[in-house]
Structure 1
Amino acid sequence: MDRPTAPAPAPAPAIELVEQDGEVTLSIGGEQAMQAWERDLMWASADMLCEYGGKHGGEFYEVGLGLGLSALRIARNPATRRHTVLELFGEVEDLFRDRNPDLPDTLAIERGDFFQRIFELPSESVDGMFFDPALDMEVWADRELWERTMPEVVRVLRPGGVFIPFFSTRPELRWQYLPHFRTIRVERRPFTAYDTTAYTYGTSGDAYIQCFRKDED
């Protein structure tokens, strides 16, 4: 899935939760950042992440809170010992907390920019990272940025840990991540979006969950 949403400019973009005609949309800067129809795909991605928690409970990290569908699913999984979510926009966190006042003790939400924070995280500190931020298309196309960033992601993962980006509605491995992993797991699942959804390739069909695994040796 390719989300043409904007990073934080100055001033900050308008952020609102739009509930209309049975549809729920998180809007950032006037763009569709996330919608509630994604629930089953987000849950499937979260469940896959939690498979890699290890024998003593997993420590997971998520980039981008959105509607919190994956965050709550991961935090409530019996395999999870700790789940930390990094969110850039305070308004997104406020909306989430308003809708979910009773959060699990395993869940922590931090504020910050992923492209800075990743350099600060300890090496081999998480069993899995779920990646679903709202980024401008220029950021997705910045090859130099990804070449700097992804080695840091690998560094932060424990041996055997995984990096799972948000699902794609095109059957192709993302070039941003591909050079940094040898083992990749892909699951195909059906999806049906809203008729008004603008960020998928079609509003129904197959979606692909990609799981990139760090070597254990």
Structure 2
Amino acid sequence: MEKESTTESTTESVTEDATPDIQLIESGGEVTLSIGGEQAMQAWERDLMWASADLLCEYGQDFYEVGLGLGLSALRVAGNPATRSHTVLELYGEVEELFREKHPELPPALRIERGDFFRRIYDLPSESFDGMLFDPALDMEVWKDEDLWARVVPEIVRVLRPGGVFIPFFSTRPELRWQYVDYFRTIRVERHAYQAYDTTEYTYGTSGNAYIQCFQKD
């Protein structure tokens, strides 16, 4: 996910091949996926991830997701009756292994692939998906790299079918994601209340409103 705090994360970069320490931490009723010592995802996000998945499924039947995490949205999308196919790209094998330990039987529509999105995006066929969820664990320097996003977002638009949508990780600030806003004319925003853990470090506050942004290709 894109960390919303000012703390620098050290999870994934487009040039980093070393695998960071990856752990699933279950303590005191909290569930956290930790990557490189950072909170990559937590189970309290479930309702927001489900809302994002349900929104995605309104726009077609073939979907793509970047970042498996705890698999909350992946299972939701793949389990939707309207879904024909859902491909999830995950960089780290350890994340997939942790997920499969919890979910040994997967929905028929779900396929998990390994790879680096910033390389894989150029190989995806044009107009091949009705929608994409985007929630990888990235280093803050990657999120701030304007040249990188200027190269990558047109490729995201390319692989979407007309009318298809791109939905990034929810924000707890009511601001459109600058990385994507210039490439889409139609943007749908849904507001949802959220309650994080007291220990959550990557949101602006641990309760309030979260915003799901849905960018639609003309």
**Equivalent-residue separation in structure 2 for 1:11 and 1:182 (angstroms):** 38
Contact 1:185 1:210 (C-alpha < 8 Å) held by counterparts: yes
* Aligned alpha-carbon RMSD (Å): 1.0
- Count of residues in Structure 1 that have an aligned counterpart in Structure 2: 211
Q: Is 1:185 matched with 2:192?
A: no
Counterpart in the other structure of 1:21: 28
Q: Which of residues 101, 105, 110 is equivalent to 2:108?
A: 105
Normalising by structure 1, we get a TM-score of 0.95
Question: Which runs of structure 2 are paired with 1:89-128 in the superposition (5 Å)?
Answer: 89-128=92-131
Aligned to 2:11: 6
Give 1:6 shift. 1.5
What is the Cα deviation at residue 29 of structure 1?
0.2
TM-score normalised by the chain length of structure 2: 0.95
One-letter amino acid of the structure 2 residue matched with residue 195 of structure 1: D
Contact 1:24 1:36 in 2 (8 A): yes
Contact 2:86 2:109 in 1 (8 A): yes
Q: Where does residue 38 of structure 2 map in the other structure?
A: 31
Distance (whole Å) between structure 1 residues aligned to residue 51 and residue 18 of structure 2: 35
- What's 1:45 paired with? 52
Q: Give the Cα separation in 2 of the matches to 1:213 and 1:67.
A: 26
Moved over 6 A (4+): none
Per-residue Cα deviation, 1:79-111 (whole angstroms, up to 9, x for no partner): 100000000000000000000011011000000
SS for the counterpart of 2:122 is coil
Is residue 147 of structure 2 the alignment partner of residue 144 of structure 1? yes
Identity of aligned residues (%): 75
Query: What does the per-residue CA deviation read over 1:53-96, in whole Å, with 9 as the maximum and x for residues that have no partner?
Result: 1xxxx100000000000000000001100000000000000000
Gaps spanning 5+ residues in structure 1: where?
none
Distance 2:105 2:17 in 1: 32
Gaps of 5+ in 2: 4-8
